[in-house]
Amino acid sequence: MATLEANRRSFLSACAKLGVGGTLLPGLLWGRALEAQAAGQALQVTPALIEELSNVAGLRISAAERDRMVSGLRQQMRSLEAIRKVPLRNWDPPSLVFDPVLPTMTFPSEKRPVRMSPAPPVRAPKDLEDVAFYTVRQLAELVRTRRVSSLALTQMYLERLRRYDPLLHFVITYTEERALAQAKEADRDIAAGRYRGPLHGIPWGAKDLYAVKGYRTTWGAQPYEHQMIDHDATVVKRLDAAGAVLIAKLTLGALAQGDVWFGGFTRNPWKPSEGSSGSSAGPASATSAGCVGFSLGTETEGSISSPSTVCGVTGLRPTFGRVDRSGAMTLSWSQDKAGPICRCVEDAMLVLHAIYGPERDDPKADRTVLDVPLNWNAQTPLRSIRVGYVADAFREETEPLPARGGRGAGGFFGGGRAMTPEQRKAFAARRAEQAKFDQAVLEALRGMGVTLHPVTLPPAPPFASYGPAVNCEAAAAFSGLIASGRARLMEPPVKNSSDWPSIFRVAHLYPAVDYLNADRIRLELMYQMEAMFRPYDVVVVPTSGPQLAITNLTGHPACIVPNGFRASDGTPTSITFLGKLCGEEKLCLLARAYQNRTGFHLRHPDVDKELAALKS
């Protein structure tokens, strides 16, 4: 490895001496080498070739400079071939580590016990399916008091998964044997007085990018359909320790984008003719349909927020670095975040409490994990929370703001392209409807005695929405997929499905200099967000819009909860509560209070009606 690294530095040095090391030229040169190899030829590095490629890269190199480069590039092309033969797994991290914490920030160090809300009153159900939509807190009381066994609960949820999967397509692999063993163990432990806490005996589902020993981990993509990883992800081990019962590995859009996977199209329980959004497609759909007690998803940019919104459930995207990602598929080392999808806010905090924090005994643990306590106290008074709201984001726009191009609100009409009159009219109508729901949130909060202060969100950077931090890192994480040719197995099966192979290929041409300059802009954005948050604990903002790209870049936590249902088709909408870095406690206190005040989370889709329609 040391020799390869020396060769890599030597190769780039040959380019850097003439100011081309951080440009497209080395990548283009290597691409030509691969083309020649495929044709059974050796690439001949000549001044004419360097001139051609430098023109593509936008470089000005004199004839004399090109002549001096030839011998060095011929000598060093062999080093790239050696480097690319080194086997790297998707999850092998780079040496550089993204840290959202700025030098001026401090955090509490005292770790205090969890203080939950008072235990909800529950009775043994006549029909076990009556509890299918219960919260974790309610299910936990049934299991703790032995009114319902974990085994019976597990069997009930497994049956529901099988019943509704033909409609919603949210399961990739059932972990039934493992689940039944865990449930029986939970019942024995609880009967013997060894109760582990509110997740003990509760069935849950994992997004199928988390490794589970003995079961395939497909990442939702055909090239990995039969992949077996011989260890458990850290979050799986921690939920095992909490006594939770894993019953299924749930769908995700291929390689964590969208809701289309190699087996089909995951659907929204509220409107099965439409997708559940993604990429945490299966976790959101299964939780919404009452087929798991809770689920675990991930977000790089919208993959918890969007499906939680579409499926009308509660999503908690923690601070970047709150949760160890070991054993999870890597898309972006500097933006991936693991988080719960539940039926209510307190459930999400209880799940987060079970999985957060560093893995101290594992030398190969996720190096990004923050060692900051998570002190959930459901009884903290709201008056202690300082709240802002992004005033401009609550306006009724007639067309998307420029910053909303890409996969935020502007993505509704395909990014920042100019809209047709019909599209502009449709956007205005949809935004006007959404604005009423969003304004109602502010009115509800004021009615709860919350003082709201207007704040201004920093402008989104020019590369926001799947910029270099995602695309380039993802291209590196999946470089082996492109090199092997297996990316061809990801041909889009339906319209609007993921096209990662094309994105990966384009990212190989992103100049290193521009990647680093984008990262410098990102740091400035982090300072701007820190200044905005300095007077406040929580900021309220509509879920769509530039905040999604901005806060995923800066690593801030978010809680997404339902805030109404559209009159046109009955589908849910959502509002987002943002928090300071490692500020999930106060963020979720306010979100929970709003949720309890409005009760939107208590409404559930009529999946049986939709299933009957499918069968007829």
Cβ pair 314, 594 in contact under 8 A: no
Choose the catalytic residue: 79, 276, 285, 303: 303
3-state secondary structure at position 542: strand
Return d(Cα 420, Cα 209) in angstroms, integer: 39
Residue ranges of alpha helices (H) inside 404-466 are 421-447
Give the CA distances from residue 234 to residues 182, 359, 365, in Å, rounded to whole numbers and listed in that order: 17, 8, 9
3-state secondary structure at position 21: coil
Burial class (CB in 10 A: 0-12, 13-18, 19+), 181: exposed
Choose the catalytic residue: 207, 237, 337, 580: 207
Residue ranges of alpha helices (H) inside 463-583 are 468-477, 479-484, 500-507, 512-533, 547-554
Q: Is 207 a catalytic residue?
A: yes
Q: How far apart are the first and last CA of the chain?
A: 62
Phi then psi for residue 478, to 5 deg, are -115, 25
Q: Is 303 a catalytic residue?
A: yes
Q: Is 465 a catalytic residue?
A: no
Query: Of the candidates 387, 383, 390, 324, which has an alpha carbon nearest to the alpha carbon of residue 352?
Result: 324
Phi then psi for residue 340, to 5 deg, are -85, 150
Per the listing, tokens 């995207």 go with 317
Per the listing, tokens 């995951």 go with 266
Beta strands in 382-451 (DSSP E): 387-390
Choose the catalytic residue: 149, 150, 277, 279: 279
Return d(Cα 330, Cα 61) in angstroms, integer: 38
For residue 383 the two structure tokens come to 């008056």
Judging by DSSP bridges, how do beta strands 538-542 and 387-390 pair with one another? Answer: parallel
Does the CA dihedral 47-52-58-63 come out positive or negative? Answer: positive
As annotated, the active-site residues are: 207, 279, 303
